[in-house]
Amino acid sequence: MSIRNRAAIAGVGQTEFSKDSGRSTLRMALEAILEALDDAGLRPEDVDSIVKMSANDDIYEIDLLRNLNLRNLRYFNEVPHGGGAACGTIASAVAAVTSGMADVVVTFRSLNERSERRFGETTVGGGVGHWRQYYFPHGLVTPAQWVAIHGQRYLHAYGATTEDLGRVSVLLRKHAATNPHAMMYARPITLEDHQNSRWIAEPLRLLDCCLDTDGACAVIVTSAEKAKTLKGVPAYITAATQGTGSRAEMMTSYQRADLGRLEESEAAARELWRVAEMRPEDMDVIQIYDPFTPMVLLQLEAYGFAKPGGAPALFRDGSLELGGRWPMNTHGGHLGDGYLHGFSHIVEGVRQLRGTAVNQVINPKTCLVTSGVGVPTSAIVLSKEAS
């Protein structure tokens, strides 16, 4: 039996994003969860399931249970692989809700990534295990550096330039500039600003990289049937999937046939379009995981919005602007709004379908949301109507 439109996002919540939240990740998670429950018209007592992302997080479901004074969680788990897990928590929630194992699922992400613990920060001293033993001793130690290897290959394969990367950044900052929630509110950049920003790891400059962020988001998933009866306007989950590729590692996977492609995202795309019974052409708005600019180009191609090597043209012809064919990352994404490991993209997708987004697109009915890339990934399609 297909999961198509049988579950829905009934509520969303979000704290402010900043460089220093001044409070614990647990407190922010609770604030976002209470806001999301209130948005849905549910009470904490209605929650019987929590699904979380596992990486770089020390909040356990029992911490939430104690603070919310819950008793029994019928279903809980956590999804690995960093930002690749964001829509994966939704996929897991859908599985739980459509199988009857859970009724109201809380998913969330809460980070003090700027003020406390930076994601991808390298430890000094000691031995390095797993696949990282092949990279760390050679000085390849951060996500930006791992992604730079993919980015350079992409530029070489398709004759793209760092200006093509810059246009991604310019678009994201343009959308953030009119979003008061965004860390880069009222701070648009030009292509020249991008080209003048300092190198991090060639071909990546500072303005190709996401923003270390403090903040939290929460999303409530329940059955489509129940969602219809609640206060919150539902966003139906038309498809949800995880995906992997060959020779998989976390952000390296350098033995793959072609590093100018994203196998995980291609796999997720195939499953997503099959389950949704839709195609890229059917999307009215898209929220693409954007840790570093090359990964946006690679995903647009993997999900079928452009042919291989064709994504840069979408940034030159206006396709991804608010008035374009596929308005992208309408909140400003990880480079403009803030880096919540893909969760703010889900929140923004719901708001667009409800018609309550700050940079509102005209009457969108469908939204693609993707999660972390170059890692085992995940993605969802949301719809305004369950048809």
Partner 1 sequence: MSEGVPLPYPARDRDTTPFWEAQDRHELCFQRCAQCGHVRYPVGPLCPECRSFDFEWSQSSGKGVIYSYTVVRHQTHPAFPAPYTVLLVELEEGPRLIAQLRAPEGAAFGVGTRVSIAWEDHPKQALPVFAIDGAAP
Which residues of the shown chain bind partner 1 in the complex (CB under 8 A)?
Answer: 122, 124-129, 131, 133-142, 144-145, 148-150, 152-153, 156, 198-204, 206, 247, 254-255, 259
CB of 130 to partner 1, least distance (A): 9
Q: Kindly tell me which of 59 and 165 has the beta carbon lying closer to partner 1.
A: 165
- Residue among 127 and 180 whose Cβ is closer to partner 1: 127
Nearest-10 crossing angle of helices 61-68, 25-40: 60
Decide: 268 and 245 in contact? Cβ < 8 Å.
Answer: no
Set 154, 236, 303, 339: catalytic member: 339
Q: In terms of CB distance, is 28 or 259 closer to partner 1?
A: 259
> Taking a C-beta distance cutoff of 8 angstroms, is the pair 293, 165 a contact?
yes
Minimum gap (Å) between residue 193 Cβ and partner 1: 18
Spatial distance between the Cα atoms of 49 and 55, rounded to a whole number of angstroms? 19
Q: Could you say which of 75, 154, 236, 289 is catalytic? A: 289
The question of whether 158 is a catalytic residue gets the answer no
The nearest distance, CB 140 to partner 1, in angstroms, is 5
* Cβ nearer to partner 1, comparing 76 with 154: 154
In the residue annotation, 236 being an active-site residue is answered as no
Query: Please, which residue, 186 or 206, has the CB nearer to partner 1?
Result: 206
The first and second tokens of residue 384, run together, are 């305004």
Which DSSP helix (H) or strand (E) runs through 276?
A: helix 263-276
Residue partners of 66: CB distance under 8 A and separation at least 6: none
CB of 374 to partner 1, least distance (A): 13
CA distance 108 to 86: 9
Q: Apex CA 330: angle with CA 374 and CA 371, to 5°?
A: 20
Q: Are 188 and 174 in contact (CB under 8 A)?
A: yes
Burial of 387 (0-12, 13-18, 19+ CB in 10 A): exposed
Query: In this structure, are residues 53 and 85 in contact, taking their beta carbons and an 8 Å threshold?
Result: yes
Tell me the two tokens of residue 41: 């018209």
Output the smallest distance, CB 123 to partner 1, in A: 8
Query: Amino acid identity, residue 366?
Result: T
Using the minimum distance from each CB to partner 1, give the nearer residue, 151 or 243.
151
Residue 224 contacts residue 97 (beta carbons within 8 Å): no
Residue 319: how many other CB atoms lie within 10 Å: 17
CB of 259 to partner 1, least distance (A): 6
Active site residues: 289, 339
